[in-house]
Amino acid sequence: MIPTFVIFLREGIEASMIVAMLLSYLSRINKREHFRDVYLGVAAAFVLIVLGGVGAYILIKQYDGSNVQTYFETTTYLIAAGFLTWMTFWMHKHARTMAKELQSRSDLALSKGTRLGLGVLSFQAVGREGLETMVFTLAIVFASQRQAQAPVHGTLLLIGGALGLIVAFVIAFFIYRLGAKINLKIFFRVLGIVLMFFAAGLLADAVENLQQLGWLSIGTHVMWNSSGAITESSNIGDILHSMLGYADHPTIMQGVVYVTYVVVSVSAFVAMGRSPRTTKRTLH
């Protein structure tokens, strides 16, 4: 529940924030008649995301229990970790100029006299975040299915995702109503660091799969076995695994990959936040 809440909250805020800023700008220049075009673009993106996510899940489930599913899972873990890292650094870098870029692209679409441009603009914004969310959700679902209470986990994952979207939409509403008065710099900085721990856990899961497949033969020695105290299948173990990448019997390679990623990515992210160019990232 917690990982999908955070993922949907983060992605939902980014997507809805872009749409909110776009609507706010259209309202400011008295072009509210184009709101419908933006909404149509958002709706089209949602349809594509849902169909794509359901289709990918059904396709992968056909190979349940086979090595093919493990291949899919491992690939999904790696892609999701890459997306998490890329989007966190990208958002941190472009938050200050995002509003101006949106205004420029909106002006360009309006100057061409076609309403399709605004729909495409909102479709691209929501579609990009939705694609990332779909990959993250698939990765989390695959990881949760390893637990003993998979159906229960599946329900909680859906609840977490729904709550994350609700909170994201509430924040987006205030962005639309208050405009430049909202600064999300600290929010994205803290959430970015949290997501990097998610990504580290996904990378560790990918390493575990590669070692089980026999594709990675180094560092297979188990560092410890804490299943007697906290198992990954328990409620606490599942939360720790989702939040921090906890494993009750991790291998040396899993530990090396996890620690290396966290140290390098978090250090780079914090250093970027201290840069003079990123000290004033206020959304307009």
Q: Which two tokens stand for residue 187?
A: 């929010």
Residue 192 lies in a domain: yes
Residue 109 lies in a domain: yes
Residue 9 lies in a domain: yes
Residue 56 lies in a domain: yes
Residue 284 lies in a domain: no
pLDDT of residue 114: 59
pLDDT of residue 282: 43
- This prediction has a pTM of 0.71
Domain span at 66: 2-278
Residue 221 lies in a domain: yes
Residue 197 lies in a domain: yes
pLDDT of residue 143: 67
pLDDT of residue 262: 93
Angle 35-61/116-144 helices, nearest 10 degrees? 30
Write out the chain's pLDDT in tens, 284 residues. 666 777 787 777 777 777 877 887 788 888 888 888 888 888 888 888 888 888 887 887 787 777 887 888 888 889 888 888 887 787 777 666 666 777 787 777 777 655 677 788 888 878 877 887 888 777 777 766 655 444 445 677 778 778 888 888 887 777 666 654 555 567 677 777 888 888 898 899 899 989 988 999 999 999 999 988 888 777 777 777 767 778 889 999 999 999 999 999 999 888 876 655 444 444 44
Among the listed residues 193, 161, 159, 188, the one whose alpha carbon sits nearest the alpha carbon of residue 175: 188
Among the listed residues 23, 188, 196, 13, the one whose alpha carbon sits nearest the alpha carbon of residue 93: 188
- In the chain, the number of structural domains is 1
What is the Cα–Cα distance from 253 to 235, expressed in whole angstroms? 26
Residue 228 lies in a domain: yes
Q: Which two tokens stand for residue 149?
A: 């209470």
